[in-house]
């Protein structure tokens, strides 16, 4: 499944358990190849993020982890989420102060996050052309971009159709 197909899946009916299992499996392979430990709490945190195509706040993740016996102190969730973000297995959605699973872990990419203002669904769309344009504009000013976070808010196809 290519990046465009995976991004569209967030807004279309699909076998979500298969989608999540495929991404989790790929993340495990990437972690193993890099010599990283996907501990039980890190793995479960990624599974929680993969359960829905929406962003979750750290305290939502912590509540789920606590219910499952992983502890109820904020560092439990924050450490797991930080690891997942640092390794490219999850992304932080700054506008929502929340996290979402990466739809293509281990792949170099410049995502744009499409956030539905009505239902909260989040899709990860390829944004290489946007990043290239931004790099060119910054370069004209002698500025070098180290990191970007592109987020767009609107209506997903289902919410747009219902409106």
Split into its structural domains, the chain has a count of 1
Structural domain of 138: 3-160
CA end-to-end distance (rounded Å), the chain: 30
- Confirm or deny that 159 is annotated as ligand binding: yes
- Domain containing residue 79: CATH number: 1.10.10.10
Q: Which regions of the chain are under pLDDT 50?
A: 1-6
Integer Cα distance of 84 and 87 in angstroms: 5
pLDDT for the residue numbered 39: 94
The fraction of the chain above a pLDDT of 90, given in percent, is: 61
* Contact between residue 55 and residue 103 where contact means Cβ atoms under 8 Å apart: no
pLDDT for the residue numbered 15: 64
pLDDT for the residue numbered 147: 82
DSSP state of 143: -
Which token pair is 59?
A: 């305290």
pLDDT for the residue numbered 4: 47
- Confirm or deny that 102 is annotated as ligand binding: no
Q: What φ, ψ does residue 18 adopt, rounded to 5°?
A: -70, -45
Query: pLDDT digits over 107-126, tens only?
Result: 778 889 999 999 988 998 88
Q: Please list, in sequence order, all residues whose beta carbon lies within 8 angstroms of the beta carbon of residue 85, skipping any fewer than 6 positions away.
A: 91, 92, 99
């Amino acid at each position: 499944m290519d990046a465009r197909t995976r991004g569209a899946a967030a807004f279309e009916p699909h076998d979500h358990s298969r989608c999540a299992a495929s991404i989790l499996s790929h993340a495990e392979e990437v972690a193993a190849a890099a010599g990283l430990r996907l501990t039980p709490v890190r793995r479960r945190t990624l599974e929680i993020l993969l359960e829905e195509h929406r962003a979750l706040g750290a305290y939502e993740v912590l509540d789920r982890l606590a219910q499952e016996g992983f502890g109820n102190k904020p560092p439990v969730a924050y450490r797991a989420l930080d690891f997942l973000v640092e390794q490219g297995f999850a992304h932080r959605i700054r506008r929502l102060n929340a996290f979402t699973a990466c739809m293509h872990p281990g792949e170099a990419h410049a995502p744009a996050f499409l956030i539905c203002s009505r239902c909260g669904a989040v899709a990860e769309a390829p944004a290489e052309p946007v990043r290239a344009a931004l790099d060119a504009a910054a370069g004209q000013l002698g500025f070098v971009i180290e990191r970007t976070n592109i987020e767009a808010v609107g209506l997903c196809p289902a919410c747009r159709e219902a409106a």
